[in-house]
Structure 1
Amino acid sequence: MNTLKSKIRDIENFPQAGVTFRDITPLLADHALLQQAVQAMVDPFRDGNITAVAGMEARGFIFGSLAAWELGVGFIPLRKPGKLPHQVGKVDYQLEYGSATLEVHLDAINAGDKILLIDDVLATGGTARASCQLVEQLGGEIVGCSFLLEIMPLNGRKQLESYSLNSLIHY
């Protein structure tokens, strides 16, 4: 994982003063390391009979699509409001400063589907927890949640205590 971590650059004071942004674009540009990262994200869940991978907008689309490809299953996009053209289910949730909403097509998840949730970063865990709730509202079962990196001081794990969790890189 140190090799993967070496491809993530720190951008100080972005998007605001006092924040260190973990920029994954150098990792995305390295085909071999990107492939290694995706395989490591899905490996703990390969025997979970996964029927689909769900990822939240926006970088969860990158890793989620690749994970779905790796597992030979479909991908379910969890989107911001107003982005999906068909009937949607939605969940509203609280952020540190405000609220947000995620939506999914109602026909994207069937009762009993076994879903692997994928995103790039686990921070406070609010978006990941809301994503799990949205999948479960439609009858899906969360097999696990997998993240490229986890910001440990933000304690996002606490939001996902009832789920199997995998994160590759810890800050």
Structure 2
Amino acid sequence: MYNTAFRILQQSDKAEDVVQESFIKAFEMLDSYRAESTFGSWLKRIVVNESLMLLRKEKVSVSLDTIPYEAIDDNPQEIWNFQQEEVQILLKCLGNLPEKQRVILNLSLIEGYDNEEICEILNITDQNCRTMLSRAKKLLRETIIQMKHDRK
């Protein structure tokens, strides 16, 4: 839960506060949990919503440039065979995406949720989820291509 809040807010103290508030809110709303989705998805939806509300409240622009990354894998040649510059371009482009697209890509690509879980977390339809993911991936791809072109 903390990682999700941190990826949205990009500040450790705010992420901790949001997670704490989310657990309190979940406890207070426990009687409204209907078991239509997993408890984890329900709680994740609360964390995402609380994080987004804080962003809107503070009107903060989140930049992923400043996030140090570390690829942890037993065989770095397999998955994380990127040059540092390419990773920085990707992080910068992700950080520049509109809030909704950044969040849905985070849930899908980084957190590893499937479409059904994303629909539950964000309270959107399956078609809306697919459309948003497709548009977010397209925009990310275009942004990366443009940034690489600008660097040449």
TM-score, normalised to structure 1, is 0.24
Higher RCO, Cα 8 Å, sep 6+ = 2
TM-score, normalised to structure 2, is 0.26
- Structure showing the higher helix proportion among its residues: 2
Report the structure number with the largest CA radius of gyration: 2
